[in-house]
Amino acid sequence: MEEIIKYSGCFVCGDEHPEGLRIKFFRDGDDAVADCIAEPKYQGYKGIYHGGLVSTLLDEIMAKAVLAIQRFAMTVEMTCRYKKPVPVGEKLRLTGRIVSQRGRLFETAAEVTGTDGTVYATATGKYLEVPDPVLRDLL
């Protein structure tokens, strides 16, 4: 597996973000994958990992699926479905993939699972490839 490019200041993957999650993302065949821990400091309700962070992880893994093929894109639409609350301290597996592509638009899907295979949340998203002039400003 090869590591997918990251941005040093990104909250999710950046090594230099002082408050960041510092998650490493990898390409595994057609999927983007990552492992992380649902850290207690990010709980919402008592003992439950914050749902906003669950959706953040889903967004990031879908974006990384596009980035894994060397295409730079931004989220234009995302739907998240929460299946079960994520207990804090749980080791999570993030998996994302490209479902289809039409021109600059990528449709993606992702899931967050536990080590026992429990599906905690799923998502679908649409990501629009960034034009070169905008990309230069972002990088």
Q: Note if the pTM is more than 0.85.
A: yes
CA 26 to chain centre: 11
Of the CATH numbers 3.10.20.90, 3.10.129.10, 3.20.20.370, 3.30.420.40, which one belongs to the domain with range 24-138? Answer: 3.10.129.10
Please answer whether residues 55 and 80 qualify as being in contact, where contact means their C-beta atoms are separated by less than 8 angstroms.
yes
Query: Residue 136 is encoded by which pair of tokens?
Result: 């230069």
User: Percentage of residues in the chain with pLDDT exceeding 70?
Assistant: 94
Query: Residue 45 is encoded by which pair of tokens?
Result: 């309700």
User: Considering just the CA atoms, what is the radius of gyration of the chain in Å?
Assistant: 15
In the three-class reduction of DSSP (H, G, I as helix; E, B as strand; rest coil), residue 23 is classed as coil
Give residue limits of the domains in the chain.
24-138
Number of neighbours of residue 25 by Cβ within 10 angstroms: 25
Query: Residue 132 is encoded by which pair of tokens?
Result: 């070169």
Residue 83 has pLDDT above 90, yes or no: yes
Q: Name which of 15-29, 62-76, 89-103, 121-135 the model is least confident about.
A: 121-135
User: Percentage of residues in the chain with pLDDT exceeding 90?
Assistant: 85
Residue 74 has pLDDT above 70, yes or no: yes
- Look at residue 139 in the predicted model and tell me its pLDDT: 58
Per-residue pLDDT tens for 86-138?
A: 999 999 999 999 999 999 999 999 999 999 999 999 999 999 998 776 666 66
pLDDT band, very low/low/confident/very high, at 7 (cuts 50, 70, 90): confident
- Over residues 34-38, mean pLDDT: 98
Is 133 buried (19+), middle (13-18) or exposed (0-12) by CB count in 10 A? exposed
Q: What is the mean pLDDT of the chain?
A: 94
Residue 69 has pLDDT above 70, yes or no: yes
